[in-house]
Structure 1
Amino acid sequence: MSFEITIRPSGHVFEAEDDETILEAALRQGFALPYGCRNGACGSCLGKVLSGEVDHGPKRPPALSEKDEAEGKALFCQAIAMSDLEIEVREIGAARDIVIKTLPCRVVKLNRLNHDVMEMQLKLPATERLQFLAGQYIDVLLKDGRRRSFSLANAPHRDEFLELHVRHVPGGVFTDQVFGEMKEKALMRIEGPLGSFFLREDSERPVLLMGGGTGFGPLKAILEHAFEIGVKRPLHLFWGVRAKRDLYLDELPRQWAEAHEHFRYTPVLSEPQAEDAWTGETGYVHEALLRQYPDLAGFDVYMSGPPPMIQAARAAFAAAGLPEEQLYFDSFEYGEKVSG
C-alpha cells in the first residue's frame, strides 16, 4: 500500500510505501530533503506534518522532543506515512542530482596528524569519480555488514583522493584497525555521498562556522570550496578542542586568515594545559562564538561535532535570535557518526 505525500511550499508530490520512511521514499524519487544520520539522533530531517498521520515506531527518536511532537513535527528519517500527507520541509536543490554510489577504494595515504587523528586518503578506481558537495560524508562498509561514517574533508575541486579525518576511539572496531594494523594499499568499500550539510551559496548573509574536534573536517571542505568559488561573504571559523595538541591542522586556518581578508579564525580550548601557555579563547566553543556575536539574527551558522555540542549550541543560538532555517549542522560521535 502506498500513500501520496505533498511537500510544502514547493508542491512536489511523491509516493511512500507503507514499509519505508518518508525520507527513503523522497530520496528514492529524486527529492532531496535535509538529513544527516538517518537514525533519528541528529534532528537534521525535522519537519512539520501539516495533514495526515505518521508513525515513529514504539519509541520516540532521540532528536524528537515532546514539544516537537506536540507541535506536529516529525523526523522524516524515522517517520512512516500512515495516510496521505502534506509536509512542510526545506528541499535541497543542489543535492538532488547527485548519485549515491557503492564503490571500492584503496587507501593510498595514512598520515598521523596528531596523537589521535589520522588523515586517510582514499583512491577510487580510475574509471570512477565521486560527485559530492563540500561538507557531505561517506560510509565505510565493514566486512561484518556494519558501517562507519566519516565526513569528507576535501572540497569537490580536489577529488582525486577522498580525504577523511579519523579520530582514534580506543576499542573501536574500525579506528583500532586504522591506527594499528591498517597499511597503505588496503582495499575498502564505501557508500556515498550522504548528508545535507553543505554551503548554501544562494544566501548573502555572513557565515559563522563552528567545529568540535574532527568536526573541523567538513568545515575545512566547505571553506576550501568557498575560497575556490570566490565567496566574498564574511566567514568566521570557531574550532573547539580540549588542549592545544588537539588542534591538529591549526596552521591551515591561520594561513587562510592571512590569504583572505574576509576570513577569521578563533580556536577555543576547553581544557588548556600548563604547557600550552594559552592566551586565546577558553571554555565551550559555542559560548566563545556568542561572546563575539551575541545577536545571530543576520547570520548563517554551520556547525559540526559531537551531539552534546550541537544540542547546547542549538538552544543557545536560538535564544540569540538565530532563525532555525539559517542553522545547518552535522552531528556525530567521534569515529561513528550519528548524523556529517
Structure 2
Amino acid sequence: MVYNVFLQSDEVTFSANEHETILESAKRQNINLQQGCVKGVCRVCKLKLISGGVEYRSGSTVCLTEDEVAGNYFLPCCAIATSDIVCATNSQGTGVARVSRRKEGVLVVHKEEKGSVFILRLKLSVHTMIVANPGQYIEVEVGDGLFRAYSIANIPHKDGVVELHVRYRRGGVFSERLKHSIQLNDVLWIRGPYGDFKLDDASERNLLFIATGTGFSPILSMLASGTIDSGRVIHFYWGGRSYEDLYFLESIASLINDYKSLHFKPVLSSPSRWDDWEGMVGYVQNCVMDGIDCLRDFDVYACGSPDMIQDAFNLFTTQCNLPAGQFYSDAFYNNQ
C-alpha cells in the first residue's frame, strides 16, 4: 500500500509505502527531513502526528518521553505509515523536525587544534542572524549535499560568531577536510539552528550536567548563556578516556568563577601513566552516583556517548530516584 504524508507547516506532500520508514520514503523523494542517529534514540527527527496512523518496525528502539508519546509525537526514522497521515513540523527547527531548505555562507575565522578536537569559529554574514537556544546545533555542509550536525558551543547572536567543537576521526568526511584543507577565510555552508536539547526555563530545580568528549560543547553554551539562576546548585561531570579528551579543561576556570555554586568534576575512564592523573577515575555516570545519592530534586542534562546516556538514564531513574521527565539528553553519533 502507498499512503500520502502531508507536512503541514511546510506544505509538502510525499508518498510512503509499507516497505520503508517514513524517513526513508522522504529521502527517496528528496525531502530532507531532519535526522540524527536514525536508530530511534536521539529524537532529532520527531514529528507530531495530527491525523492518520503509524506503527514502528519490529524491534525498533523508540526513546520518546512519556509527555512526547502523550502529545502524539513519533519518530519517522523507525515508523511506517498505516494510512494517509498529516504531521506538524516547525519552521524554526525548535522542538519538531522540519524540512531543510535554506543554507547560509559563513567565513572560517578561527581554527585551533586541541588534541583530537578542533575549535572552529565561523563568522556570520551581516545578512545572517542565528538566534539559538543554548544546547541547539547547526548543520555544516560537508560535500555532495551531505550535512553533519555540530552543537553550538557559544551564544552566536552576541558577536556574530558560531563556535563548534569537532572531533577528528580518521576517514571522517568533514574532519579530514578540517584537518588537511580548510583554511582561515574559507567559506562553509550551514543551516539551522535545530534541536530541543535546551534548558527548562520554568524549572527551579538543581542542575546536573554530565558529558563525554565533545558533548561538553552544548553544555558550555548553556553555562555561558548567563540565564541560570544563581540560586541553583550546579554539578558538572565531564568524562573522557584520557586527559587529551578533556580538551577544554584549561579554559573552564572562568565558568567556575561565574557560578559560585558550580561543582565541576572531570573524570577519566582509562588514564594512562603519562596522564599523571590524580582526579576521579571510572565511567562518568558511575562517578555521579558515587557523589550524589538522590537526584529527585535535579534536572539532568546528558550529552555525548549514546551508551553513556542510556546507562545514565537507567541508573539515575532506577537507583537515584530521578523522575524520567527530568532527564534531558543529546546523543552524539560517529558519522563518517
TM-score w.r.t. structure 1 length?
A: 0.77
Deviations along 1:266-293, one digit per CA (max 9) or x if unpaired, are 0000111223332211110011111111
Compute the displacement of 1:218 (Å).
0.6
Change (3 A) 1:77 1:154: farther
Are the counterparts in 2 of residues 243 and 276 from structure 1 also a CA contact under 8 Å?
A: yes
Match of 2:244 in 1: 245
Change (3 A) 1:265 1:329: same
Are the counterparts in 1 of residues 223 and 255 from structure 2 also a CA contact under 8 Å?
A: no
* CA-based RMSD: 3.9
**Pairs within 5 Å for 1:74-223:** 75-78=74-77, 79=79, 81-83=81-83, 95=94, 101-112=102-113, 114-223=114-223
Compute the displacement of 1:182 (Å).
1.3
Compute the displacement of 1:75 (Å).
4.0
Higher relative contact order, chain-length normalized (CA < 8 Å, sep 6+): 1
Change (3 A) 1:198 1:36: farther
CA distance in 1, matches of 2:159, 2:317: 36
Match of 1:64 in 2: 62
Identity of aligned residues (%): 32
Indicate the SS of the match to 1:150: strand
Unmatched runs of 5 consecutive residues or more in structure 1: 6-12, 24-34
Are the counterparts in 1 of residues 155 and 162 from structure 2 also a CA contact under 8 Å?
A: no
Are the counterparts in 2 of residues 36 and 196 from structure 1 also a CA contact under 8 Å?
A: no
CA distance in 1, matches of 2:160, 2:10: 36
The residue identity in structure 2 corresponding to 1:191 is: R
CA distance in 2, matches of 1:83, 1:295: 45
The residue identity in structure 2 corresponding to 1:235 is: I
Greater CA deviation, 98-107 or 292-301? 98-107
Are the counterparts in 2 of residues 206 and 234 from structure 1 also a CA contact under 8 Å?
A: yes
CA distance in 1, matches of 2:96, 2:329: 21
Change (3 A) 1:160 1:229: farther
Change (3 A) 1:4 1:41: closer
TM-score w.r.t. structure 2 length?
A: 0.78
Change (3 A) 1:257 1:152: same
CA distance in 2, matches of 1:14, 1:121: 31
Change (3 A) 1:308 1:38: closer
Change (3 A) 1:40 1:245: closer
Deviations along 1:18-63, one digit per CA (max 9) or x if unpaired, are 747999xxxxxxxxxxx972723424368999x9731345x654x3
The residue identity in structure 1 corresponding to 2:138 is: I
CA distance in 2, matches of 1:257, 1:329: 23
The residue identity in structure 1 corresponding to 2:180 is: G
Match of 1:259 in 2: 258
Indicate the SS of the match to 2:302: strand
The residue identity in structure 1 corresponding to 2:302 is: M
The residue identity in structure 2 corresponding to 1:64 is: V
Change (3 A) 1:97 1:331: closer
Change (3 A) 1:237 1:189: same
CA distance in 1, matches of 2:132, 2:178: 24
Are the counterparts in 1 of residues 93 and 193 from structure 2 also a CA contact under 8 Å?
A: no
Are the counterparts in 2 of residues 40 and 77 from structure 1 also a CA contact under 8 Å?
A: no
Unmatched runs of 5 consecutive residues or more in structure 2: 24-33
Change (3 A) 1:274 1:97: closer
CA distance in 2, matches of 1:47, 1:181: 37
Indicate the SS of the match to 2:176: helix
CA distance in 2, matches of 1:3, 1:245: 47
Deviations along 1:124-147, one digit per CA (max 9) or x if unpaired, are 221211111111111111221221
Deviations along 1:88-107, one digit per CA (max 9) or x if unpaired, are xxx9x994799975211111
CA distance in 2, matches of 1:3, 1:182: 40
CA distance in 1, matches of 2:137, 2:174: 16
The residue identity in structure 1 corresponding to 2:293 is: P
Match of 2:30 in 1: none
CA distance in 2, matches of 1:64, 1:179: 36
